[in-house]
A = this chain, B = another copy of it.
Amino acid sequence: MKDALAKYILKKVKMSGEELQHVLSHFNHRAVKKKEILLHEGGLSNKMYFVVKGCLRIYFIKDVGTEVTRRIIFENDTSASMVSFITENPSNEFIEAVMDSELLYMDRKDFYHLVDTLPAWEKFYRRQLEYAYVVNTNRLMSFITNDATERYLLLLKENPEIIKRLPNRLVANYLNITQEGLSRLKSKL
Chain B contacts of A129 at CB under 8 A? Answer: 126, 129-130, 133
In the assembled complex, how far is the CB of residue A136 from the closest CB belonging to chain B, in whole angstroms? Answer: 6
Interface size class of chain A, counting residues whose CB lies under 8 Å from the partner chain: 20 to 34
* A75 interface residue (CB < 8 Å to B): no
Q: B62, A134: Cβ atoms under 8 Å?
A: no
Q: A145 contacts which of B62, B126, B141 (Cβ < 8 Å)?
A: B62
A-B contact pairs, 19 of them (CB 8 A): A60-B145, A61-B145, A62-B145, A63-B145, A82-B133, A83-B133, A86-B130, A92-B141, A115-B126, A119-B122, A126-B126, A129-B129, A133-B136, A136-B136, A137-B137, A137-B140, A140-B143, A143-B144, A144-B144
Q: Told that A62-B144, A83-B138 touch, could you supply 14 new A-B pairs with CB distance under 8 A?
A: A60-B145, A61-B145, A62-B145, A63-B145, A83-B137, A119-B119, A119-B122, A129-B130, A133-B133, A133-B136, A136-B136, A136-B137, A137-B137, A140-B140
